[in-house]
Chain A
Amino acid sequence: MANAQNTTAMQAKTAAQAGSMAYIAPLAGWLLPGLGHLIQRRYVRGVLIMLSVFVMFFAGLAMQGKVYSFNVGDLLDILGFIGDLGSGALYFIARNMDWGIGNIHRAIADYGTKYIVVAGLLNVISAVDAYHIAIGKKQ
């Protein structure tokens, strides 16, 4: 009888933890790339995601790519801002440090702008994946 009560209590605790993890993991993953996987003990995946997003983001900055700010003008600029925002803390750091001014005189700078946007989009995919792990849809 006591064992059955303990098992039920443990199952309820595990379900509650999984429920809170479903909110924490994607949020953490968005804020710091790979963190959503790391806090769920998927260390190799977390480190690889972190490396990929960091390399893309900082390579984009090194190529003098542009970091979009909030705007309501051109549609492509709005989409660029949404993509950049996907990088989470990296985006806010870059904006605060005035990185990513952009350089229209260099062709490679346009590559850099795309790198930064895609880094954000990849991070969003990773955060969704962390959510799927948290709800048990994926191992």
Chain B
Amino acid sequence: MTHFNAALVFALCASTVFGITQRNTPREMVRYGAYCFSLFVAGVIVASWAMWLIKR
């Protein structure tokens, strides 16, 4: 498993639980879960580019 795949699995599981526990209706749960997932993935991509730039 690559680091990126590991981060994706982490994001999927964490955002599923966040969505279920932090919102009240199923529609809101799905929307919040998707929002958290996209933030996790965007954070991973931004952090990896930041590390690439720091290394240069």
A-to-B contact residues, CB < 8 Å: 45, 48-49, 51-53, 55-56, 59, 63, 107-108, 111, 114-115, 118-119, 122, 125-126, 128-129, 138-139
Contacts and interface: CB of A to CB of B under 8 A. Distances in A.
Given A108-B1, A111-B3, A49 B20 contact: yes
Contact of A52 (B3, B6, B13): B13
Interface in B1-55: 1, 3, 6, 9-10, 12-14, 16-18, 20-21, 24-25
Contact of B16 (A48, A107, A118, A128): A48
A53 B1 CA distance: 19
Contacts, number: 53
Contacts of A128: 21
The main secondary structure of chain A at its interface with chain B is helix
Interface residues of B, number: 15
Listed from nearest, the 8 A-B pairs whose CB atoms lie closest are A129-B21, A52-B13, A122-B17, A52-B16, A56-B13, A45-B20, A111-B6, A125-B21
Main secondary structure on B side of the interface with A? helix
Contacts of B10: 56, 114-115, 118
Contacts of A138: 24
A126 to B, nearest CB: 6
Contacts of A49: 16-17, 20
Chain A CB within 10 A, most for which of B1, B17, B20: B17
Contacts of B14: 52, 56, 118, 122
Nearest to A111: B6
Contact of B9 (A59, A122, A126, A139): A59
B9 to A, nearest CB: 6
A122 B18 CA distance: 8
Contacts of A114: 10
A125 B17 contact: yes
